[in-house]
Amino acid sequence: MSEIIQKLRTTQNLSDEELKLILTTDSYDEELTQNADAVRREHYGTDVYLRGLIEFTNYCKNDCLYCGIRKSNQNLSRYRLTEQDILECCKEGYALGFRTFVLQGGEDMYYTDERICNIISEIHKNYPDCAITLSIGEKSYDSYLAYFKAGAERYLLRHETANTEHYSKLHPAKMSCEHRKKCLFNLKKIGYQVGAGMMVSSPFQTLDNIIEDLRFLQELQPQMIGIGPFLSHQDTPFKNKPNGELKPVLKLLGILRLMFPKVLLPATTALGTLHPLGRELGLKTGANVIMPNLSPICVRKKYMLYDNKICTGDESAQCRQCTEQRAKSIGYQVVMSRGDAKDFEKR
């Protein structure tokens, strides 16, 4: 084993220059992949955890420059699922074996704290053995606390970039990098299993930005880290920006697995959109989570954060079966359990 990979695996840390060396030198790729896979097997074996994703609204108050459901997109057909719609998705998902439901949506003010808490409570009452994950953006401390008390246990909030200047180039002026970070620390303080992560190869991103992202994650110590490539959307200001590439994402997945050995690391839909075997390659490089879509087929094409998103026409059962077959084909096994992070202790 080369000295630099051995150091990363042993100490879970490297200097900025050493990290840049791995990120820019192809000769480390195979060794990084092998070690990342070995470390995930040490802690999680060949298990791949499935999360049932329910994209319940594509309304959003924000106007992020990269996002297809941004407020200013007039070409998008908007939708909202009712509480009963969401519960039907959970019913179908539970029958298929899912024991984690991820409620994801834009920052839609129609869903007041009362409505969100009612939805959480109903899911929790009907499926007490399931974990409820939220991915609904920046909220107040009190809102996060209310959701937690209602039964939500996990929260996904990608920080996208930890650099203030870079953040300002991707988001409208009223959004703040510091506020987003504060939200993540508030979530940790309350007791959530927290997920953060960055967009790889986003417009204006530098190598130094990526290093800053890794340092922020070291400070935050999340239980989940979701990363994926920048993929453009035709109805955004970034429509002509080049899409990210596969290799930088895989490199970072490997680095993250070695830096955070017990973290839950998704092989994202965006990775599968970028490359036909993107998710499989992600699993081989340390990832251990996949999120099949449980949303009603009639709305899936409307939740289009980027162009050409995969799996928008599949039945939920098809998504479940396809994911299991893909994982099995490369030597991993789908596990239908809550799949909590190994280093998380409930409060």
Residue range 19-32, pLDDT digits in tens: 999 999 999 999 99
Is-contact 50 323, C-beta < 8 A? yes
Q: What is the pLDDT of residues 61-82, one digit of tens each?
A: 999 999 999 999 999 999 999 9
Query: pLDDT at residue 311 above 90?
Result: no
Percentage of residues in the chain with pLDDT exceeding 70? 99
Backbone angles phi, psi at 250, to 5 degrees: -65, -40
Tokens describing residue 11: 């100490």
* Residue range 308-336: mean pLDDT, rounded: 90
Residue 289 to residue 339: CA distance in whole angstroms:
9
Query: pLDDT at residue 50 above 60?
Result: yes
Tokens describing residue 128: 């007490």
Distances in Å between the Cα of 228 and the Cα atoms of 22, 40, 74, 249, 267 are 18, 19, 26, 6, 8
User: Tokens 């949506």 identify what position?
Assistant: 105
Which pLDDT value is given to residue 301?
A: 93
The mean predicted confidence, pLDDT, of the chain is: 96
Tokens describing residue 54: 């329910």
pLDDT band at 312 (very low <50, low <70, confident <90, very high): confident
Which pLDDT value is given to residue 345?
A: 61
Residue 156 to residue 200: CA distance in whole angstroms:
17
Residue 52 to residue 54: CA distance in whole angstroms:
7
Residue 52, beta-bridge partner list: 101
Which pLDDT value is given to residue 319?
A: 87
Residue 296 to residue 81: CA distance in whole angstroms:
9
pTM above 0.95, yes or no: yes
Q: What is the pLDDT of residues 137-184, one digit of tens each?
A: 999 999 999 999 999 999 999 999 999 999 999 999 999 999 999 999
Which pLDDT value is given to residue 346?
A: 59
Q: What is the pLDDT of residues 99-133, one digit of tens each?
A: 999 999 999 999 999 999 999 999 999 999 999 99
* Residue range 322-344: mean pLDDT, rounded: 92
Please name the residues in contact with 73: beta carbons below 8 A apart, sequence gap of 6 or more. Answer: 235, 236
Weakest-pLDDT range from 19-33, 34-48, 187-201, 305-319? 305-319
Residue 278 to residue 283: CA distance in whole angstroms:
9
* Residue range 253-281: mean pLDDT, rounded: 96
Q: Which amino acid is at 243?
A: N
**Selection from 333, 285, 261 nearest residue 50 by Cα:** 333
Q: What is the pLDDT of residues 269-298, one digit of tens each?
A: 999 999 999 999 999 999 999 999 999 999
pLDDT band at 1 (very low <50, low <70, confident <90, very high): confident
**Selection from 101, 341, 346 nearest residue 224 by Cα:** 341
Backbone angles phi, psi at 62, to 5 degrees: -90, 165
* Residue range 232-258: mean pLDDT, rounded: 97
Query: pLDDT at residue 347 above 60?
Result: no
C-beta atoms surrounding 77 within 10 Å: 9
Please tell me what DSSP assigns to residue 330. Answer: T
Region class of 15: left (phi > 0), else alpha (psi between -120 and 50), else beta? beta
Is-contact 264 223, C-beta < 8 A? yes
Please name the residues in contact with 272: beta carbons below 8 A apart, sequence gap of 6 or more. Answer: 278, 279, 310, 311
